[in-house]
Each structure stands twice: as C-alpha cells, then as structure tokens.
Amino acid sequence: MLVAITYITCAVVWGTTWFAIRVCIGEDGFPTLTGAAIRFTIAAVLLRLLVHVLGSSPGIRTRHQRSWFTVAGLLNGAGYALVYLGEETVPGAFASILFGTLPLLTAFLAAISKTERVTLGHFLGALIALGGIIVIFGDRASVSSEQGTGVALLCGGVVLSAFYSLVLKRESSSVHALCATSWFLSVTAVALWGAALLSEGWSVPWPPPFAPTVALLYLAIFGSVLTFASYLYLLQHVSLMATTTLVFIQPLIALFVDSQWEEDVQLTLTSYVGAAITLGGVLVATLWKRYSTAKA
C-alpha cells in the first residue's frame, strides 16, 4: 500500500511541477532565475535539516567527492536555468515530454563512459524521440521564434541533466543519498543565485505575490524534497523498470493540468503529433529492455 501511495505521489507531484514553474515565474510572479534560486535554496536548507535530524551517514568526506558533487550541482544549476527560461514560452506538458527523453540520453552517455552498456532498443528509441523533438521544435519555431528558442533551451536542460545524472551515478555510491543531495542542491542554489544576480539583479518582489509564492513553496517542498524522498523509497522497494514508467505518467498529468489552466500558449495538432512520437521513442526503449530482460 505504501509503495502505491509513494508511486502516485511521485507521478502527481512531478506531473504538476511543470505548470507550477510557469505560475511561479508568470505575470506578476518572480523573476525567472530568482524564482529558481529561491526554490533550491529552500530545498537545500530543508534537506540539510533532515541530514542533521536523521544523522545520515556516510557523508561527503574527500576532496574528490566534494569536487564531483560540486560539478554536478553546477550542471544542475545551469540545466534548471535553461528549464525555467524555456518555460517562459513553452507549456509545462511539453517540457515534461522533452524531459522524458532523459533516460535515453543518460544511457548513451553511460555507454560512452563505459558506466553501462547501451542496447539496440535505446538506440532506436533515441532516434524516434529525436524525430519527435524535431517536429515539436519546427512547429513551435513556425509559431514564433520565442517558442522555438524555448524548446531549444529545454533540450539544453535535458543534456545538462544527463551529464549531472551520470556524475551522480558514478560518484554517489559511497555517500548517503540525503548527504549527497544536500550538497548537490546547495551548489545548485548558489549557481542559480549567481546567474540571477548577474542577469536580474536583486529583484525579489515584496510583498511576495500570493499565487507565485504558493507555487514556489510547492516546488521547493513537494517538487524537490518530498519527491526525492519518495523516489528513493521506490528505488529501495520496487524494480528500476517499474520506476521508469513514471516517465509516461508525468506528461499525461501535465497535459491534463495544462488543458485545465494553461491559457498563454496555444498548441497545434503538429505539436501533439511530435509529443506522441517523442513518447513513442521512450516507450520503444523501455519495452525493448523489458522484453530483453524477460528473455534472458
């Protein structure tokens, strides 16, 4: 029962965070990079408190570990900067679909670095997903250059996320997950504050706008802390293949949320076709791996 509740928590929260980002940085909301910086500052502080209360160990002890977790945090900060900037013009559901390709890209990078082997299914799935992304990009670029740029920024965020995921996979095995994430998100927050101060100055709105502030707190507490703890629990109690199905459920929830409340961006049939192709690529890779595992 607890596994089911945890799975639903991850799916629902992650599926709604994309729209929450647009509320946070939307009209009368927080400046884009400042909103991201505040989100990860709150999340890092909460995780640090959890580490202190729970006495999580082992922690980060060596210079090698600090260096690599810092690199991962900087990559995450740059990646989320691109995500937030991209969501200024692209609806959350399509951001979610583009990020559904993350496991495929991560698999390729893992294969190149000899972290793990890439399968034919990953290769075919990535080609199909890439075709879907090209369709979405072409459609959004034909609507406006801003939306085309938004898709490109989000794709950049996917690439950076794949790189930091690879770093964490290779370096985090000997460090408690909460300790690693606390350091990782602290560096992310610092990186985002640096980018925010350089491009936006000190522009925290006061008094805080109600709806964007609620969205920001939701992103920090539920989207960054609760979902991390829930996902960690899932990894400990169900198969990795079971957790990958979240990739398909999140976009469906995000599409439903956008259909109810998204008004700023109108999508065409071509965009939806591209989204279906992209998800199809991820599905091919996932089912191929599951079939190959079953045969073995």
| pLDDT tens, residue by residue, 17-60 | 988 998 999 888 899 999 999 999 999 999 888 877 776 666 66
Question: Which two structure tokens, joined as six digits, stand for 111?
Answer: 């294969």
As a whole number, the mean pLDDT across the chain is: 79
pLDDT band per the 50, 70, 90 thresholds, residue 198:
very high
Number of domains in the chain: 1
**Containing domain of residue 242, as a range?**
2-295
On the question of pLDDT at 293 being above 60, the answer is no
Taking a C-beta distance cutoff of 8 angstroms, is the pair 222, 13 a contact?
A: yes
- The SS3 assignment for 19 reads helix
- Contacts for 70 with CB less than 8 Å, ≥ 6 apart: 183, 187
Q: Which amino acid is at 62?
A: T
pLDDT band per the 50, 70, 90 thresholds, residue 7:
confident
pLDDT band per the 50, 70, 90 thresholds, residue 273:
confident
DSSP 226: I
Ranges of H-type helices in the chain: 2-25, 32-54, 63-86, 92-99, 102-112, 120-143, 145-171, 177-200, 210-217, 227-237, 240-244, 246-261, 269-295
Average pLDDT value for residue range 155-175: 77
Q: In angstroms, rounded to a whole number, what is the distance separating the alpha carbons of residues 67 and 72? A: 9
Specify the pLDDT at position 57.
Answer: 64
pLDDT band per the 50, 70, 90 thresholds, residue 263:
low
- Contacts for 202 with CB less than 8 Å, ≥ 6 apart: none
Average pLDDT value for residue range 168-192: 79
Taking a C-beta distance cutoff of 8 angstroms, is the pair 105, 287 a contact?
A: no
Long-range contact pairs involving 210-216 (C-beta distance under 8 Å, separation at least 24): 211/23, 211/29, 212/23, 212/24, 212/25, 212/26, 212/28, 212/29, 212/30, 212/35, 215/20, 215/21, 215/23, 215/24, 215/29, 216/24, 216/30, 216/35, 216/38, 216/39, 216/42
The pTM assigned to this predicted structure is: 0.79
Percent of the chain having pLDDT more than 90?
21
Specify the pLDDT at position 191.
Answer: 95
Q: In angstroms, rounded to a whole number, what is the distance separating the alpha carbons of residues 16 and 252? A: 10
Q: Which residue has the tokens 């647009």?
A: 22
Q: In angstroms, rounded to a whole number, what is the distance separating the alpha carbons of residues 53 and 182? A: 13
Residue 196 buriedness (CB in 10 A; 0-12 / 13-18 / 19+): buried
Specify the pLDDT at position 286.
Answer: 67
Instruction: Give the highest mean pLDDT range of 27-41, 79-93, 107-121, 274-288.
Output: 27-41
Phi first, then psi: give them for residue 114, nearest 5 degrees. Answer: 65, 25
